[in-house]
Amino acid sequence: MAAIEKEVRSLLGHSAWCSEFASLIERPKKDARTPADVTHNLDATLEKLYTGTRLKLKAEQKKPCQICCQLAMSDNTVCVGCRGVGMLRNGTRCSMCGGAGKLPNKRCTNPKCHNRHIKEQHFPLVEIPPGAMNGHKIVLAGLGNTTLEEPPLVGDIVCTVIEKPHPDFKRCWNDLYLIKSINITQALCGCSFILKHLDGRKLKIKSKPGAVIRPGDMKVVKNEGMPIMGSKRKAKGDLIILFNVTFPDIINKSSVGEIEALLPKKKAVKISEELDDYNLSVFDPAEQVYPVPKRQSELDESPMKQQNETGQKTVPTCAQQ
């Protein structure tokens, strides 16, 4: 066991052991007669997973009906479904007697009783640790369903954490990714901005003086990612910022010379005066019309038929696609 744990920790890190492999390897094996786990999904925001949280779970628990138990002790017969064994040949619990191996001769008067069980609602507290990942399982031992046999066997509740998407941050393991848009002035002359983190803290992030940020550049802020679950040193992943540089639509003609003087010189190109001039204009894909193959025009879903029937203009599809 220790060798497996050491290998998993070295390959995938401590959080992988805590979230997945620990629940599969360290969990003790159950008796075959123990009731199946009661499963629940816990929806959690990235903010809750960053700080950790406690949730009140609404669950139902099947318990033996006390009236049926008293009847079984006083007057009962051997169950014909399992012949008094409580288990079927395929290894599953007998549904007729609930695993008790015997059936009462008298009918139960409890209106809540169903197949010698009653359902009770309870609200256990579930603690989600900081840094828990999507799919992390939390076991509430002994809070599941209860069997009828003596001594009774109690099952577990297994909760699975479901991470909800965040509008700004994207999580990858223990790292956080963020897209930040800046203008060309900030990209060339340096930028600084305030970032509100998942725990409510405000981080002042700035670039190094003189460092140019290109479109698509990725910068990292160390130790500001997600907490690493189970880390004694409270270690964290990294915050990676992907920069999107926005350019102005047009520049004042009077400022072009001043901007050119500050930027590197343009590469000189010899252009003959005999060549014609062609100006660039804005490209609109909706204005492009491509020929549609004959076989495609005969389909009901073809753009040509949709345009004729609805009268609305549709985006054309390329014949080579």
Write out pLDDT tens, residues 105-154.
Answer: 666 666 677 666 777 888 889 999 999 999 999 998 888 877 766 677 88
Q: Give the pair of three-digit tokens for residue 310.
A: 């609805």
pTM (two decimals): 0.65
pLDDT, tens digit (0-9, with 9 covering 90-100), for 292-302? 665 555 555 54
Domains in the chain, start-ordered, CATH in brackets? 1-29 (no CATH), 31-163 (2.60.260.20), 170-246 (2.60.260.20), 279-321 (no CATH)
CA–CA separation, 105 and 108 (whole Å): 10
pLDDT value at 172 more than 70: yes
